[in-house]
C-alpha cells in the first residue's frame, strides 16, 4: 500500500492477526496506543508487551525514554542520552523488555503491543526475535511503525498483516474485526 494512503484506509489480511500502527515522527497524538491498551484492559482483555513514554525536564525538553511493561505498569529507563547526538540506549533495559514480551508470549495473552519497530529492529536486532515469535505463536500483535520504516516492516513481515493509521479508531476497528 502506498504510504500516503495510510491515513485514509486500512489494509487487512484476514490470515494474519498482526498490524502495523503507522505514525509520522512529528505526529501530535502518540498517546493513541496507550489509550487503546487502557480501554482493552478495562474490558478485561489480557494485554502484554511494551510501550514507551518520553521523559521531560523542567524546560519541557525530552531527556529520555522509559519502557512501560503493559501488564504491570512498571517503568524502566531505556534511553538517557548525555548529549543530543548520543543514543543513550540502555542495553540491559532492552534485554528486560525482551523478557517482558517473552513472558507475555508464555502467558498466552490476548494481545501483545510493541512500541516500536525502531532502528535496531529494522536492522534485525533489538526485539525483532520476540516480535516474530509473537507472530509465529499466533498471538495478536499491534506494533507501532514509523512511516519511513513501513517498507522494512512489510519486508520483515512477509507483506502480511494489517496497516493501520495511528489512531484509537483504527486500532479499535482492527481489534473488533480480529475478535469477531
The model's pLDDT over 27-84, given as tens digits with 9 standing for 90+, comes to 656 789 999 999 999 999 999 999 998 888 899 888 888 999 999 999 998 887 655 4
Helix, strand, coil share (%) of the chain residues, nearest 5: 40, 25, 35
How does residue 10 score in pLDDT terms, banded at 50, 70 and 90? very low
* Chain mean position to CA 59: 28
Q: Is the pLDDT of residue 1 over 70?
A: no
Q: What pLDDT is recorded for position 2?
A: 41
CA 10 vs CA 13, 21, 159: distances in Å: 10, 10, 14
Domains with residue ranges and CATH for the chain: 3-49+102-179 (3.40.50)
The model's pLDDT over 83-121, given as tens digits with 9 standing for 90+, comes to 544 555 666 777 889 999 999 999 999 999 999 999 989
Helices assigned H by DSSP within the chain: 32-42, 91-106, 119-122, 128-136, 150-156, 168-179
- Buried residues in 122-159 as b, exposed as e (16+ CB within 10 A): beeebbbebbebbbeeebbbbbbbbbebbebbbebbee
Amino acid at each position: 500500500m502506498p504510504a500516503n494512503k495510510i491515513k485514509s484506509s486500512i489494509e487487512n489480511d484476514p490470515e494474519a492477526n498482526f498490524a502495523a500502527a503507522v505514525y509520522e515522527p512529528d505526529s501530535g497524538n502518540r498517546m493513541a496506543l496507550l489509550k487503546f491498551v487502557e480501554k482493552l484492559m478495562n474490558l478485561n482483555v489480557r494485554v502484554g508487551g511494551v510501550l514507551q513514554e518520553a521523559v521531560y525536564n523542567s524546560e519541557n525538553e525530552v531527556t529520555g525514554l522509559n519502557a512501560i511493561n503493559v501488564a504491570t505498569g512498571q517503568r524502566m529507563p531505556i534511553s538517557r542520552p548525555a548529549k543530543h547526538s548520543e543514543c543513550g540506549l540502555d542495553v540491559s533495559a532492552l534485554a528486560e523488555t525482551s523478557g517482558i514480551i517473552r513472558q507475555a508470549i508464555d502467558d498466552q495473552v490476548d494481545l501483545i503491543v510493541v512500541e516500536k519497530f525502531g532502528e535496531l529492529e529494522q536492522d534485525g536486532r533489538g526485539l525483532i526475535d520476540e516480535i516474530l515469535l509473537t507472530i509465529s505463536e499466533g498471538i495478536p500483535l499491534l506494533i507501532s511503525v514509523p512511516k519511513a520504516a513501513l517498507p522494512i516492516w512489510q519486508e520483515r513481515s512477509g507483506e502480511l498483516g494489517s496497516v493501520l493509521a495511528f489512531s484509537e479508531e483504527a486500532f479499535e476497528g482492527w481489534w473488533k474485526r480480529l475478535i469477531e
